Structure 1
Amino acid sequence: MHVFFSGIGGTGIGPLALIAKQAGFSVSGSDKQHSKYIEYLINQGVQDVHIGQTAEAIQAIDDRKPIDWYVYSSAVEKEQGTSPEMRYCQENGIRMSKRDEFLNHLLETKNLQMVAVAGTHGKTTTTAMMIWLMMQIGKPISYSVGAKIGFGDMGAYDTKGKYFIYEADEYDKNFLAFHPRLSLITGIDWDHPDIYPTRDEYEQAFVQFLSQSQHSIIWHQDANKLGLPVSEDDPITILDETHESIGSGLGLTGLVNRQNAWLVANAVHELTDRPLDELVEHMNKFPGVSRRFEQIAPHIYSDYAHTHEKIRGALQVADEVSPGDVVVVYEGLHNTRQHFIKDDLPTLFETAKSLYIVPSYLAREDESLELLTPEKLCDLVEKPNTKYPMQLDDELREVIKKHAYRGDLVLCLTAGGGGSLDEWLRKTFSQKT
């Protein structure tokens, strides 16, 4: 079967294309721009990748080898009606779907059982922890994770494994397409108001997801939040957020990381019957994930924290790690989201000594909303008192260098992609000390 992946450079579609290639499918694809990850896919054997999404390009690929299935991302779906690729597929009777339908096909044909990691925050790190722990105890697995990891690819298929570990995103209700063997819920806090206009709609999506899972592991506070009627007959394990292993047995930095690790240890114990103390010992060696409290240079860190809970979690880790002061450089992910978290902004950064706000990273915006500039966001922040609107320029570079030289921990809360604070940091500081 020949599968064409549109948006193949993305963190959701790209790993799935690599998995499909490793699982024996013929794979091709396209993206709007070239990237290092596309280069990596090409080196891994995904040779037929076209930059630019035109009808002529997909026709040329289809002429060389007929396309059986066109898989597209949520971003491409929004272009339905204007996408030349989609029009070509419609006119030529090529099967089209989002990634979830193809992934279900792959799971069924390869006899894989899904282990899903879902939740508002911590999905990527927790998924990576799950992959790491299964590898450490020698269990063959297939998986897909939404960030670079230092101990494997972002996606992989192993013919000897029976489990597929998957970062199940609730955006666009993607996770409701699946019926996992086991689901881990990292935490639930209303997000994505463009998809879920009310808190109740968001929480009910998780209730439905849990009902579709053979077994689930969830924190006590989230079970209460969802109003789950739990009894011994229910296929749900409820964990205590204050369990002694989180405070003593697990040595990872940051309470959120320790909680995620305990969730994973319990999940692997459920799947393999390995002793929890052995699993905790392995978890203490977890090496981390890119863009999750990742050190770019001495004293300078990048973290993909963009909801209020993630931001608080990142600050808690920074306070735990740093013997000195913590300063924050903040790039909001989407103007729409800044409106959504506006009520939290007055005290969201209160543990930081200083705050520098750069323009938000814009994508999928509600054009009817006022653009919250760095100046306007600063006005909404009450603490810390030292707060400054900034741009990605030489002045910001000198400010960061000054704080790093003093020994302050500079926590950069960043979006991703071209033109983001994260990209600017890597270009500006990754080769400097």
Structure 2
Amino acid sequence: MRIPVPDVIPPASQLGRVHFVGVGGAALSGIARIMARQSVPVTGSDDHDTPFLPSLRELGVPLHRSYAADHLGDAETLVVTTAARETNPEVVAGLERGLRILPRSAGLKSVMEGHRVLAVAGTHGKTTTTSLLTMALRAAGADPTYAIGGVLAATGRNADAGTGDLFVAEADESDGAFLVYGPRAALVTNVDADHLDVWGSEEAYRGAFTDFVGTIEDQGLLVLCADDPGAAALAEVGRARGLEVVTVGESAACDVRLTGLELPGAEASFDVEEGGRTLGRVTLCVPGRHYALDAAGALVLGLRLGFAFEDLARGLGEFTGTGRRMERKGEAGGVRVYDSYAHHPVEIAGDLQAARAVAGEGRVVVAYQPHLVSRTRIFGTAMGEALGAADEVVVLDVYLAREDADPEVTGALVAGAVPLPPERVVFVPDLDAVPAELVSRARPGDLVLTLGAGSVTELGPRVLDLLGGAADA
């Protein structure tokens, strides 16, 4: 459901007791954790367990495994996930009681009070880039507060309250949340049409990023990964506002350049040049060109904030990943299993390129679960075409999330667009049948990759179990 952002968003300290409806999600769980660390009384409900909830339980936050009106207790404020329905009993009770009801964007804004906000936006790579920036700043001694859409492997958490004055935030455009934060500095990774069910058209979607640049504080900083045309187009917008605009990428036209990019196996390394001078070399423990570009953007933002190259580069090198972003799940029977959140054609292509580098001489066997009926309707053919970079493809049915099913839009639409011989592509609508299908197609030396933003993430450990192994600890 869409909840309007109030004209005035009080700081978290003035919200009273806060109850989170859908607390298990990546965004709400992070906000709840930061509030709890800021001594705000917090409770929450969700209808299923998620990887984000252990970090709340360790703080003693009361959590409910269902939705019911009496879970609100004496709450004065509700923070509600966009996935909640208007019939949710906690939402209904909150409206009846006249409680303050905030969308996640306003909830996040409430905990930013007193911080210099660094917002990371873009169609793809937000979570990874926010994570890389957090790691770089931590290595430089900044100890920022951070809120990320995935679990940062180095800390085991998706959010925490630091002791410094910086707040690193993943700024999500899907529902316009990124227009609320008013950052001191922003980084845009790319702009590529998505979430058209919300924005209505590609023009409106791109216009939202122009509006986002308009929310940056006066005389603030805008870093753009300008190899992407959509991000590069924002440079003129930022300069017209009087912002400091810095472009980064492999292009010779960029202010800061990546050169000498090498992608050996599960790593990536590159030199960083500015003004014809080499600043140094960065080596990452994650594969793929897109991760190198993300890291370069994070590095440039840190440099412009005054931190040393060596410290920032060390932090980037210590980044071992974020949950669901090319995350290694384990190996058994000579088969490596990875999981990733990619659900857009561009993300699929990027992760398959990285998977190919990691697989070496082995094949890439993919299980892909389309996410949202609306996205599959628009991008289903392009999803299938991107999956053609794999050797074997298993397509699941559409993960519905906040939408209702449409019999005309299923995983078969995606499977039918995969440009591989028919025997190498199969549509398996039964989630429980997918692990056995993957195992039947994989052989020693191969890499199995589960892709998608939904329940497909559950399959990696089941594949390992069938292969006779266990997930990595």
Give the TM-score taking structure 1 as reference length: 0.88
- What residue is the counterpart of 2:294 in the other structure? 260
**Count of equivalent residues:** 415
The partner residue of 2:223 within 196, 217, 220 is 217
Q: Mapping of 1:164-183 within 5 angstroms?
A: 164-183=167-186
Equivalent position to 1:378, from 415, 439, 444: 415
Is the alpha carbon distance of 1:382 and 1:208 closer, same or farther for their aligned partners in structure 2, counting shifts above 3 Å? Answer: same
CA distance in 2, matches of 1:425, 1:410: 8
The separation in 1 between residues aligned to 2:79 and 2:260, in whole angstroms, is 41
Counterpart in the other structure of 1:69: 77
Structure 2 residue aligned with 1:290: 323
TM-score (normalizing by structure 2): 0.81
* Cα distance, 1:304 vs structure 2: 0.9
- 1:206 paired with 2:209, answer yes
Contact 1:70 1:94 in 2 (8 A): yes
1:117 is aligned, of 112, 117, 120, to 120
Q: Distance in 2 between matches of 1:346 and 1:151?
A: 34
Q: CA deviation at 1:263?
A: 0.4
Q: Aligned AA for 1:146?
A: G
Is the Cα–Cα contact under 8 Å of residues 224 and 235 in structure 2 kept in the other structure? no
Q: What is the CA-CA distance between 1:394 and the residue it aligns to?
A: 7.4
C-alpha displacement of 1:281:
4.2
Q: Is the 8 A contact 1:223 1:238 kept in 2?
A: no
For residues 418 and 339 of structure 2, the distance between their equivalents in structure 1, rounded to whole angstroms, comes to 21
Summarize the Cα distance change of 1:351–1:30 in structure 2 as closer, same or farther, 3 Å threshold: closer
One of 413, 424, 428 as aligned partner of 2:459? 424
Task: Provide structure 1 residue ranges, at least 5 long, that are not aligned to the other structure.
Answer: none
Which residue identity lines up with residue 254 of structure 1 in the other structure?
G
1:344: how far off?
A: 1.6
CA 358–33 in structure 1, closer or farther in 2 if over 3 Å, else same: closer
* Cα distance, 1:428 vs structure 2: 4.0
Shift of 1:55: 2.0
Give the corresponding residue for 1:251.
283
The residue number in structure 1 matching 2:277 is none
Corresponding residue for 2:106? 101
Residue in 1 that maps onto 2:312: 279
- Distance in 2, matches of 1:54 and 1:231, equals 50
Contact kept? 2:31, 2:107, Cα under 8 Å: no
- Gap regions ≥5 residues in structure 2: 1-15, 252-256, 262-269, 272-281
1:403 is displaced (CA, Å) by 4.8
Cα distance in 2, alignment partners of residues 185 and 227 from structure 1 = 10
* Residue 306 (1) aligns with residue 351 (2): no
Percent of aligned pairs with the same amino acid: 27
Structure 1 equivalent of residue 446 of structure 2: 408
Q: Secondary structure at the match of 1:288?
A: coil
Paired with 1:365 and 1:246, the residues of 2 have a C-alpha distance of 45
Amino acid of the residue matched to residue 251 of structure 1? T
Is the 8 Å Cα contact of residues 300 and 404 (structure 1) preserved in structure 2?
Answer: no
Deviations 1:33-81 (A, max 9, x none): 344543542231213x2332222332xx21xxxx2222111122xx23x
Q: Aligned partners of 1:72 and 1:297: how far apart in 2?
A: 35
SS at match of 1:139: coil
Q: Residue 404 of structure 1: CA displacement?
A: 4.3
Q: CA 1:414–1:90 in structure 2 vs 1: closer, same or farther (change >3 Å)? A: closer
Counterpart secondary structure, 1:88 = helix
Check whether the contact 1:403–1:409 (CA below 8 A) recurs between aligned residues.
Answer: no
- SS of the residue aligned with 1:333? coil
Equivalent residue number for residue 250 of structure 2: 241
Paired residues of 1:392 and 1:421 also in contact (CA < 8 A): no
Q: How many Å separate the matches in 1 of 2:49 and 2:187?
A: 34
- How far 1:246 moved relative to its partner? 6.5
Displacement of 1:358: 1.9
Q: Write out per-residue CA displacement over residues 109-156 of structure 1, whole angstroms, 9 at most, x where no aligned residue.
A: xx1111111110111111111111111122111111111122222111
Shift in alpha-carbon separation, 1:52–1:322, aligned structure 2, 3 A: closer
Residue from 367, 388, 395 that aligns with 1:357:
395
- Alpha-carbon deviations, 1:248-287, whole Å to 9, x = none? 3343320000000000000111113313x55334423321
